[in-house]
Structure 1
Amino acid sequence: NDHSVGFLPNNITSDKLFQRVFGHHIFDVQRAEQDDTYITKHGSHHDGKVHYEFNYRNYCLQICERHAQTNDIFELIPPKCFEDEQAEIFVSNYSHWWNDKTKIVEFRPVHFQHENFLHDIHYILAIKKGFIRTNNTENRHYLINRSSSFFKNLFTKYFIRLDSEPYVYMLAKNGIINIHLSRLGIAFKYTVHNTIQQHHGNIPICMSMTINVSPTDSPTGWLYLALLHAITSHCLPDQYTGMTGMERSFELLNSTVSWSDQPFDPIESGIIELFLRFETFETNLLASSYDDLDEELTAWLKNAKMIAPIVERFRMLYNQLCFILTFFCLE
């Protein structure tokens, strides 16, 4: 038509649906025959045969994708339409395009700038058949409906303790159910014949054995954690804690969680004794007194200058443990 070329108005570009898929992409558009409707002047993507139509009416944005070669028209569906029906990963990881001619919803990449935005279709929702399947003819899986009794029973029986329902989805193929916990990044297999495909490991359980578990307010668990950090320490800081294992061990030993108003029990005393039995590079760092330890460390340091920081940290750890043992009058 004779309409001039311009840009989309702010009420369209600032809409959440537009921002989610197109971001800050700038389209050259022309007004269409319908009111408040704009059509892109130039084709998009590699072949340049795809145009987009934007219609903003009654505070609702409608985005359509028109393919010149096939005459297919896809409508972008807001992700909130799937929030109550689909797992979170199917809502947040994809944009959803409805083809009225084929009655199919395509699950594409979220961002319009994706190099294979039109053809990288991971899943397909076939409205007539009522299922979602993977878009892979060689290894096709079908998504199990979250509202089905099968999903509810399996989730309640096995996975409700691991994560909430929106972060669990199940794919079926040839009688095998693949259960994915997207937020935890783990997956399980379930078959209609056997619940276990293979044993992960054998755990012997002796019902007659008495298991003593210390209460949560005791320092036993924290001392174990401090010991674990100390014996697995590295010279480089851990990317999650931002400190080395030895530094984290010091922090736990200096905190109130490792202290008690009662003498340490035999288990806690044994943990502290393990601290004092460190051996590094086949050198025994435990001596009968601090003076002997200091002399041994000094002799070792002459032949191992590169590990001076580790030696100094151990000396500090030894002093801390000696103080704890003295404070509680441990034998």
Structure 2
Amino acid sequence: MSPVNDTKFSFAVFLLTGIPGQEAIHLWISIPFCFIYVISIVGNSVILFIIKTDPSLHEPMYIFLSMLAVTDLGLSIAIMPTTLGIYLFNSREISLDACLSQLFFIHFLQCTESSVLLLMAFDRFIAIRDPLRYASILTLRRIAKMGLVCVLRGVAIVFPLPFLLKRFQYCRDYVLSHSYCLHQDVMKLACSDITVNSIYGLFVKFLMAGLDSLLIFLSYVMILKTVLSIASYAECLRALNTCVSHLCAVLLFYTPEISLSVIHRFGKGSSPLLQILLGYITLLVPPLMNPIVYSVKSKHLRARIIRVFFKVSSSPDSSNGDMNSYLHSLQRGSDRV
């Protein structure tokens, strides 16, 4: 590589994109993004705080939920600075190194979240298929090892991506399609052969969106088979009800992720606005909705959250008495999702 090319490569700066043609109202567009950011951070932080401080929630399902909350927090923190920078301050420039760092964390956290969703499906399968051995199979030590494997798997899969992009010269238009950096978006700006990157990117998507979603699907086939063998209709519905929150999380994560990957690789004539909106749905909706879905569906978790926010005391006044009665009724009817 010539010195001229080295210099050109070293000082590469990309331009992030907000919503094209709507620059005049970017400040107004920033308002919902600020709300999403705050709700995502607060919601996932509350979930982590409740699970950490309440010993009754130190169970496999809630530990996996705390792992999901950590990855969602990470995604929000990785994406929002550049997104809000565009809409609030029109700050579009991002250096190559900063871009590579951001895309590493985004893809790493997505891969880790996919692994956690797979573990949560395994947790539901064990809870329904073999409830008597549930606690002995999913011990804290085993759960910790599973969590470590999720992290190491994410690092191992995503670690090559920045280096595969670092070797390129970027001699085309430096405008990216999103307000954050993604591997498939950055590699299109290279003026070199991107075959290796394209193949490895597909490999990463296959491991994450393909293999993980397939294993989750198979686990639910086994869950459904087990549930249908239950004689009581009420018990059958109760068992399926424990899976609703996880199914919502799976659909929120994989549906837009797979759609965006297909459009990036095969939808050359697709609308740029569609890509931008799908990108936001992929990365912003799961961290926003997961805490809400689990809080609404899990009476046990909801009771703990209400207790923290309303600071229920043991004083005999009527309002506290009503709140305590409500909390006790929630706990008695807890679905332990």
TM-score calculated relative to the size of structure 2: 0.20
More strand by share: 1
Higher-Rg structure is 1
TM-score calculated relative to the size of structure 1: 0.20
